[in-house]
Amino acid sequence: MPVDERRALTVEDVAGMLHVSKSGIYALIKSGGIGFYKVGRKIRFTDAHVRDYIDSSGKAARSPARIGPVALDEDSYFDLSPGRRSGEGFIICGQDLILDVLSNFMRLHGVMALRAYIGSYDSLVSLYHGRVSVATAHLWDGIGDTYNIPYVRALLPGIRSVIVNVTYRMQGLYVARGNPKSIVSWRDFEREDVTMINREKGAGSRVLLDENLKLLGLYGSRIKGYDNETQSHLAVASAVGRGDADVAVGNEKIARQVENVDFVPMKKERYDLVIKKEQLDTPEVTTMLTILRSEKFQNEFKSIGGYDVTDIGKLVAET
């Protein structure tokens, strides 16, 4: 395949696009899960390599029989057994790049921080069952027009928890360049000439859509493409960019990384960490919060579009 050096992507670039750590990308390379090429000893990727990986991952996720490793599956990509958690690592759930950087900072401070790439709802369930150390969530409640607190209370019953802000992000609609179908509202999802692509159940973007559909009295089963699911912001944005769908829900930062996609802002969301209160004074959590609140860590994101770290490290609520 011809290589466009101007679009040569590094391991760091692809990790950011797929919301995984660099070690996750190296694991994909080793397993043959993603294509690449070399310039001397340096590994590089093209946009086509990333698109091919997203397409193949989407097909694997829809197939009843999965063959080979699934890169972002909680149980196969990370060993979350009690022995590993207590002996080897501190597991942070969530799919944003900011969490990958946080885990890297923690390792530099002597904490074996691991990552589990799980959506918001499943992240909280995993915390409830003790499979992870820290959950993250961006789940909007349409009744109270608030983020995360009602879900933490419901999914962690009887568990005293603290909610700490990580960032604010803009959620909205991915549409084709120029927005040829003039899609500007949640009501547009019910139009006959509009086909969507959806996130998996439990993802924050999926919950935002479902809550707004409920407020409008609409049923997902009556929306074209509603049952066509995939598991990342990048995957749904890429589908819109290719013309496979007319609209999808995701965050603004990803829209800037995908060709032929425009972004319609809809909701500023709060992205939070959720921690069991009894763990708040442990060395691992203390280190994590100290890093979050440090100027050095915050400076990593002040110049990156799509992140508002005004309240990073701030205690939002206790439940």
- For the chain, give every domain's residue range: 5-62, 74-111+120-168+270-318, 171-268
Instruction: Write down the pLDDT at residue 44.
Output: 84
Q: What is the pLDDT of residue 122?
A: 93
266-290: average pLDDT: 94
Same topology between domain 5-62 and domain 74-111+120-168+270-318: no
114 bridge partner residues: 91
pLDDT in tens, 226-273: 999 987 888 899 999 999 999 999 989 888 888 899 999 999 999 999
Q: What pLDDT does 143 receive?
A: 93
Q: Which CATH class is domain 74-111+120-168+270-318?
A: alpha beta
Reported confidence tier of residue 61, pLDDT bands at 50, 70, 90: very low
Give whole-number Cα distances, 57 to 28, 33, 61, 231, in Å: 11, 9, 6, 9
Q: Determine whether 217 is exposed, middle or buried from the number of CB atoms within 10 Å of its CB (0-12, 13-18, 19+).
A: exposed
Is pLDDT at 76 greater than 60 in this prediction?
A: no
Beta strands in the chain (DSSP E): 37-39, 42-44, 90-93, 113-116, 135-137, 140-141, 146-147, 161-176, 198-199, 229-230, 247-251, 261-276, 315-318
pLDDT at 259: 87
Residue 59, pLDDT > 70, answer no
pTM for the full predicted model = 0.71
How long is the chain? 319
Mean pLDDT of 111-135: 91
Pick the CATH number of 171-268 from 3.50.50.60, 3.40.50.620, 3.40.190.10, 3.40.50.1100: 3.40.190.10
- Distance, CA of 29 to CA of 36 (rounded, Å): 8
CATH no. for 5-62: 1.10.1660
Q: Is the dihedral of CA 188, 193, 198, 202 positive or negative?
A: positive
pLDDT at 158: 96
Q: What is the DSSP letter of 226?
A: T
User: Do 163 and 273 contact (CB within 8 A), yes or no?
Assistant: yes
Rounded to an integer, the average pLDDT of 109-130 is: 90
Q: What is the pLDDT of residue 6?
A: 52
Q: For the beta carbon of residue 53, count every other beta carbon within 10 angstroms.
A: 22
Query: Dihedrals φ, ψ of 106, to 5°?
Result: -65, -40
pLDDT at 306 over 50: yes
